[in-house]
Amino acid sequence: MKNILHALNHEVGIKGSMVITPDGMMVAAALGQELEEELVAAIVSSLLVAARKTATGLRANGELKSCLLHSSMGKIMFYDMGNAYLVVVANTDLKIDSSIIAIRSAIHKIGNRRGA
C-alpha cells in the first residue's frame, strides 16, 4: 500500500497521502519530509470524524464520499474507498481536475491490492 501512496505523491502538487479507517485510525501513510506523520494523522483523523458527524447531523443521505478542505496553506482531500478513506495533502494551488485520474487510480489499486 505504501508503494501506491508513494507513487501518488509524485504527482505535481501532492505533498503526501495516507489511508485511514472511518473512525480515524491510520492504516498507512506516505508523507513528505515537511509533514510530521503523527501530527498530520491526528489532524486528519479529527477532521474526518467531525465531517462524518456533521454529515450525519445534517441528515445527509448516505455516507461521506469525499471532502475538500482548502486553506491558505494547502488542501486536504478525503475520498471514501468503502472500508477506509484515502487522504491527500496538497499544495494550495493544486488543480484537482488534473490530479483526479491519479487519485482514482490509487483508490482502485489500493482496493485491488494483494497483501499489505
Spell out the per-residue pLDDT of the chain, length 116, in tens. Answer: 999 999 999 998 999 999 999 888 899 999 878 888 888 888 888 988 888 888 777 766 667 788 888 989 899 999 999 889 999 999 999 888 888 999 999 999 998 876 54
Domains of the chain: 2-111 (3.30.450.30)
Specify the pLDDT at position 79.
Answer: 93
Specify the pLDDT at position 62.
Answer: 64
Specify the pLDDT at position 60.
Answer: 61
Q: Determine if the pTM surpasses 0.85.
A: yes
Helix (H, G, I), strand (E, B) or coil at 78: strand
What are the C-alpha distances in Å from 74 to residues 21, 32, 51, 62, 109? 23, 14, 18, 28, 25
Q: Which three cell numbers stand for residue 27?
A: 492504516
What are the C-alpha distances in Å from 3 to residues 97, 110, 113? 23, 10, 11
How far apart CA 90 and CA 92 sit, in angstroms, is: 6
